[in-house]
Amino acid sequence: MVMEIEEKVIEAKKASIILASVNTESKNAALEAMAQALDNNREKILEANRKDVETAEKLKRKGELSQALVDRLKVSDSKISGMIDGIRDVISLKDPVGETIDALELDQGLELYQVSCPIGLIGVIFEARPDVVPQVMSLCLKSGNATIFKGGSEALNSNRVIFDLLNQAAETIKVMPSGAFQLMETREEVNDILRLDTYIDLLIPRGSNAFVKYIQDNTKIPVLGHSDGICHVYVDEEADLSKAYAVCFDSKVQYPAVCNAMETLLINASIADRFLPKMARMYDEAGVEMRCDNSSFKILEQIDFIKSVGRVTDDDWRTEYNDLILSIKIVDSIEEAIEHINTYGSHHTDCIITENDMKKKRFTDLVDSSSVMLNASTRFADGFRYGKGAEVGISTNKIHARGPVGMEGLLIYKYILVGNGDKVADYAGSGAKKYTHRRLNKKASDALGK
């Protein structure tokens, strides 16, 4: 089994070299073929997904799968349309491969170019969500990266059907290399993939906190991603409360089973009596369980018809619920809110509701998160909504790529030095030539005759 996996990975690694040089027109043709394949096989995808969901529901009843995981697994006709739209959005994006990032004359006739290029072979290990396959494959294809996919067993049928449709469609385009995209299916393959740092250039895990942490702790391969999505909304005393109600409700309720949903609501003490009762009623009607600190509990325990209110624990501040559960805390100042976010948050997405411009700046300057929202739902932290076509994941890293990661996170660069028999010896010792180090308004393609 290990040898078979390694053979697949080596095949993909070799194909990545060819894929890196495929022209834009051919890549876009492959993407359109992929979109059409999904559109023409909707019922086939839905039937495969029904099998997975049926099995997942049984496991949920046994306590072996969470409701959040079951929710992420489900594919609908509208979700398939979203997959198709995502692929076509990627078609519309500019091809980033071969772009000149910088050009510098070292000396007359000696020119240095910094040029974008694919990372190479990307490994994507994910749980539940079958829509990860078209999202990531489309971005990797457009950016010239070969990809190994390893999905969870709970989505086995859905992943297989979607992957086969996309892969076969892409390979109908003549210049597309065979074997650039590979699908792994067994649980044992995860650990085998983690050991293949000789071939795999970057890993992108998508799944639960424990799952991502396991990947990060058990491989030498660089990992792009986040292990937690503990997101906050802070309602300032100078907030427009109509905006606050809308943003706080959407951030928690619109889709609670995802990493950019709010998990903790922070409220300034001076407006808590005015804001919290109505907000709690809205949450209560939506089935949200509220876990309150002492101050917020005192306000809500007086309201008889609000049933789902309890006490918060210290562990709650560090918990990503992925469910209709919310921690609530009343704070005395924006400074206390920022301190709480930076202490308990996961550097994912955090929001302030305020009309005070100085506080907006203070919040964005001091909150150490990959996305910071001003009077807008945390749920906007998404590659598609950010105009990236789709996303390969959301990263809380501080190197390479951060936040919702699109194609820019799948690129690195190389340096190309164009000379004419130049040698370093001429720039050393007595009478040495001097470097000009002059910026050039020139593309590498011009120097290379392309």
Sign of CA dihedral 132, 137, 142, 146: positive
DSSP conformational letter for 415? E
| E strand or H helix at 328 | strand 325-331
- The predicted structure's pLDDT at residue 227: 65
Residue 396 has pLDDT above 90, yes or no: no
Look at residue 242 and tell me if it is in a domain: yes
State yes or no: pLDDT of 1 exceeds 70.
no
> Does residue 446 fall inside a structural domain?
no
Q: What is the pLDDT of residue 442?
A: 92
CA separation for the pair 275, 341 (Å, rounded)? 20
* Parent domain of 353: 231-384
The answer to whether residue 427 sits within a structural domain is no
pLDDT at 450 over 70: no
198 in the same domain as 70: yes
Mean pLDDT value of segment 97-103: 95
191 and 265 share a domain?
Answer: no
Please report, as a single letter, which amino acid is at residue 299: I
* Average of per-residue pLDDT across 299-322: 88
61: in domain: yes
- Statement to judge: residues 155 and 255 lie in one domain: no
Q: For position 239, what pLDDT does the model report?
A: 98
Same structural domain, 106 and 80 = yes
Q: How far apart are the first and last CA of the chain?
A: 44
Within-domain flag for 58 = yes
CB 273 within 8 A of CB 243: no
308 is a domain residue: yes
pLDDT tens digits, 119-140: 999 999 987 789 989 999 999 9
> Can you tell me which residue has the tokens 């690694």?
13
Q: How confident is the model at residue 3, as a pLDDT?
A: 54
Residues 240 and 220 both lie in one domain: no
How many domains would you assign to the chain?
Answer: 2
Task: Read off the pLDDT of each residue in 44-61 and give the average, rounded to a whole number.
Answer: 93
pTM to 2 decimal places? 0.79
User: What is the pLDDT, as a whole number, of residue 401?
Assistant: 79
State the sign of the Cα–Cα–Cα–Cα dihedral 18, 19, 23, 25: positive
Answer positive or negative: Cα dihedral of 287, 333, 258, 205. negative
Residues 6+ apart with CB under 8 A from 319: 230, 263, 327
248 within 8 A of 261, measured Cβ to Cβ = no
Whether residue 239 is found in the same domain as residue 360: yes
| Nearest CA-CA partner of 329 in 243, 228, 230 | 230
What's the rounded Cα separation, in Å, for the pair 239 and 174? Answer: 57
